[in-house]
Amino acid sequence: MATRILCLGNELVRDDGVGIRIGRILGELPLPAEVCVELAPHLGFALLDVVAGADCVILVDAMSTGQPPGTCVTLAGRAIEHYGAGTSISHTIGIAELMELARRLAPDRPPATLHFVGVEGVAFADYGTEMTAAVEAAIPEAVDAVLRIVGADDGLRAAGRQACARARALARIA
């Protein structure tokens, strides 16, 4: 089963960079060979081939829904399409549209299983690489959520926690 983890965001817009940060952490881990991490600035048409060719797609992104900052949300299936419609995150194409286009590109292929891991942010209007404390603190939970979705064992999940701690320490130094 080919699993694509699409980590979205803009690292130069504070909390919007959380998806990319999570992707960089996941990219350091010894993930199974069939799992691929992709870093993308936005959910756009360029990702159609990636989505159309996957059995499982995991979207990782910041969100702005009015929940407390740092809230980590995990959704699956069609609930994502409805949830994504209510967020104020702006992408060039919505989740529902991307998945529908992927279905049309590969009509003989079963549709990909879809998952979403999101972290509620607040600093989307400020340039900078420093995330708010609540978003930074939610990264380990989000990394673990992705690892659970891909069926990681306890050893890989422990490696994920260690990679999060290293990334946080490096962020403090920079």
Give the global pTM.
0.86
Our count of domains for the chain comes to: 1
What digits encode the pLDDT tens for the residues 47-80?
Answer: 666 666 788 989 999 988 889 999 999 988 877 7
Q: What is the dihedral of CA 125, 128, 130, 136, to 10 degrees?
A: 40
Q: What CA–CA distances, in Å, run from 141 to 35, 46, 160?
A: 19, 28, 10
CATH of the domain at 138: 3.40.50.1450
Domain ranges, residue 31: 3-173
